[in-house]
């Protein structure tokens, strides 16, 4: 991460910034492909869940808890990712993640019990979790700080493509394949891309910094870091936590056909492919604080509306809610990159994002599932929206010591 710190020490842009960005675009796009397979390996269980639930005889709460196992593995891996990247370099950590995710999905495809599947999902989370800090370290090391918003927005195409294509590919392949074979196919793709990256990929050939109690103590002294923990948890719940349970909610609570529910969810994420760039542009133009405040207010309102409306109103908010939610990651990742003393910023991602994914991508879906079993599926989603609205006041209290971006 030393190059990252050097970039932060010299935030001014120069005439060569655009040329540097264009020259590094192929590397960024290759990382987008790896991140896409990394992400879809986790979210594909959402559109497959109605089929998995019936096949394994799961309740709504048990279905929701599967995402907790993924998130718990993701939490542990992100937290310890610095231990791996400090020994292997960021480049090797990236291809290790791709290979591990591929092999684990292949193993899950052959599991035939609830607990073997839970174990496989946990290991999938472990394999996927070591990617993000190294992927972000590679991008921020190669690109000028003035271009971070744009570069991270491009990188965020991966999860947004995953949101769109996971339901589409699931429904398409389920015509010919079982849900197990769908997982095996995605796992094979991840493994092959990992092999290509081993042979031909370019990236950060430097080691990460191993997380330590001292690093965490430096970060914990920062009020802004504590605020970002809350914002990340609720922000991830808005676009990942809600997404994971949405097809099940539409099928069981509103009586939609599984195919129609998955197609609606997929179509609602198409706009996010472009709007994520709006989030990156707004971050560069207005700064992460104002961007986060606006995104949280709008996302919270639409998430709450998603849980309390029905009929045509429900369909409207299925489409509108993700349009605001996808603008969260670029602003949040830039804000997180600017927090803390220089010696502690390296590991901010490894401390903040694990907690966020555990809460937003694991606990929140399980809570929504529990409320679904109690006959209050929509209320669970609405409560999440209310918490997001309350959190919209927090970004104004963020402070960035070096202030390269206001």
- Please write the tens of the pLDDT for every residue from 322-360: 888 888 877 887 788 777 655 455 567 667 777 887 888
The span from the CA of 203 to the CA of 219, in Å, is: 27
**Can you tell me whether residue 354 is helix, strand or coil?**
helix
User: Looking at the predicted structure, is the pLDDT value of residue 24 above 50?
Assistant: yes
User: Looking at the predicted structure, is the pLDDT value of residue 62 above 60?
Assistant: yes
Per residue in 205-247, pLDDT (tens digit) is 656 556 666 666 767 777 888 888 899 889 888 878 888 888 8
Q: What is the DSSP string of 14-59?
A: -TTHHHHHHHHHHHHHHHHHHHHHHHHHHHTHHHHHHHHHHHHT--
User: Looking at the predicted structure, is the pLDDT value of residue 80 above 90?
Assistant: no
Per residue in 163-174, pLDDT (tens digit) is 788 888 888 888
Contacts of residues 87-90 at CB distance under 8 Å and 24 or more positions apart, as own/partner, are 87/207, 88/207, 89/204, 89/205, 89/206, 89/207, 89/208, 90/134, 90/135, 90/137, 90/138, 90/203, 90/204, 90/205, 90/206, 90/207, 90/208
**Which pLDDT value is given to residue 403?**
47
Say which DSSP state 222 is in: -
User: Looking at the predicted structure, is the pLDDT value of residue 6 above 60?
Assistant: no
**Which pLDDT value is given to residue 1?**
36
User: Looking at the predicted structure, is the pLDDT value of residue 15 above 70?
Assistant: no
Residues 6 or more apart from 307 whose CB is under 8 A from it? 377, 378, 379, 380, 381, 382, 383, 384, 385
**Of residues 223, 228, 221, 280, the one with CA closest to residue 391:** 228
CATH number for region 19-203+214-397: 1.20.1250.20
User: Looking at the predicted structure, is the pLDDT value of residue 303 above 90?
Assistant: yes
Q: What is the largest CA-CA distance in the chain?
A: 60
User: Looking at the predicted structure, is the pLDDT value of residue 389 above 90?
Assistant: yes
Per residue in 193-206, pLDDT (tens digit) is 888 877 776 666 65
**Which pLDDT value is given to residue 13?**
43
Give the number of other CB atoms < 10 A from CB of residue 239: 25
**Which pLDDT value is given to residue 214?**
67
Q: Please give the mean pLDDT across all residues of the chain.
A: 79
- Whether the CB-CB separation of 247 and 46 falls below 8 Å is answered with yes
Buried b (16+ CB within 10 A) or exposed e, 370-390: bbbeeebbbebbbbbbebbbe
Residues 6 or more apart from 54 whose CB is under 8 A from it? none
**Which pLDDT value is given to residue 282?**
80
**Can you tell me whether residue 90 is helix, strand or coil?**
helix
The residue ranges of every structural domain in the chain are 19-203+214-397
**Whole-structure pTM value:** 0.69
Pick from 8-17, 82-91, 147-156, 315-324 the range whose average pLDDT is largest.
315-324
The span from the CA of 364 to the CA of 9, in Å, is: 38
**Which pLDDT value is given to residue 405?**
42
The span from the CA of 378 to the CA of 137, in Å, is: 39
The span from the CA of 103 to the CA of 127, in Å, is: 9
User: What mean pLDDT do residues 280-306 have?
Assistant: 88
The span from the CA of 109 to the CA of 120, in Å, is: 9
**Which pLDDT value is given to residue 299?**
92
Give the number of other CB atoms < 10 A from CB of residue 16: 10
User: Looking at the predicted structure, is the pLDDT value of residue 388 above 50?
Assistant: yes
User: Looking at the predicted structure, is the pLDDT value of residue 368 above 70?
Assistant: yes
The span from the CA of 396 to the CA of 392, in Å, is: 9
User: Looking at the predicted structure, is the pLDDT value of residue 373 above 80?
Assistant: yes
């Amino acid at each position: 991460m030393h190059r990252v710190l050097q970039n932060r020490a010299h935030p001014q842009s120069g005439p060569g910034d655009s040329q540097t960005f264009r020259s590094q675009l192929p590397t960024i796009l290759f990382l987008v492909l790896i991140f896409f397979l990394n992400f879809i390996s986790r979210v594909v269980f959402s559109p497959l869940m109605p089929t998995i639930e019936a096949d394994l005889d799961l309740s709504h709460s048990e279905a929701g808890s599967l995402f907790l196992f993924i998130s718990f593995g993701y939490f542990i891996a992100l937290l310890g990712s610095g231990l791996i990247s400090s020994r292997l370099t960021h480049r090797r950590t990236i291809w290790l993640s791709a290979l591990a995710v591929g092999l684990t999905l292949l193993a899950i495809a052959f599991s035939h019990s609830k607990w073997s599947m839970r174990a496989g999902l946990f290991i999938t989370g472990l394999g996927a979790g070591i990617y993000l800090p190294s992927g972000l370290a590679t991008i921020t090391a190669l690109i000028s700080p003035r271009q971070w918003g744009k570069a991270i927005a491009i990188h965020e195409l991966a999860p947004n493509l995953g949101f769109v294509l996971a339901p589409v590919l699931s429904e398409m392949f389920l015509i010919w394949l079982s849900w197990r074979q769908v997982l095996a196919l995605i796992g094979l793709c991840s493994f092959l891309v990992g092999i290509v990256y081993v042979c031909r990929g370019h990236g950060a050939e430097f080691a990460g910094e191993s997380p330590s109690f001292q690093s965490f103590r430096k970060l914990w002294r920062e009020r802004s870091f504590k605020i970002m923990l809350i914002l990340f948890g609720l922000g991830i719940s808005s676009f990942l936590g809600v997404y994971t349970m949405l097809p099940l909610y539409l099928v069981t609570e509103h009586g939609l056909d599984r195919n129609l529910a998955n197609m609606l969810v997929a179509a609602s994420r198409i706009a996010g492919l472009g709007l994520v760039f709006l989030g990156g542009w707004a971050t560069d133009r207005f700064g992460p604080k104002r961007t986060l405040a606006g995104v949280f207010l709008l996302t919270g309102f639409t998430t709450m509306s998603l849980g309390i409306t029905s009929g045509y109103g429900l369909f409207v908010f299925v489409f509108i809610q993700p349009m605001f939610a996808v603008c969260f990651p670029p602003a949040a990742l830039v804000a997180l990159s600017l927090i803390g003393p220089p010696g502690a910023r390296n590991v901010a991602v490894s401390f903040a994002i694990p907690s966020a994914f555990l809460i937003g991508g694991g606990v929140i879906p399980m809570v929504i599932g529990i409320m679904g079993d109690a006959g209050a599926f929509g209320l669970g989603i609405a409560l999440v929206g209310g918490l997001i609205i309350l959190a919209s006041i927090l970004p104004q209290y963020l402070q960035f010591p070096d202030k390269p971006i206001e």
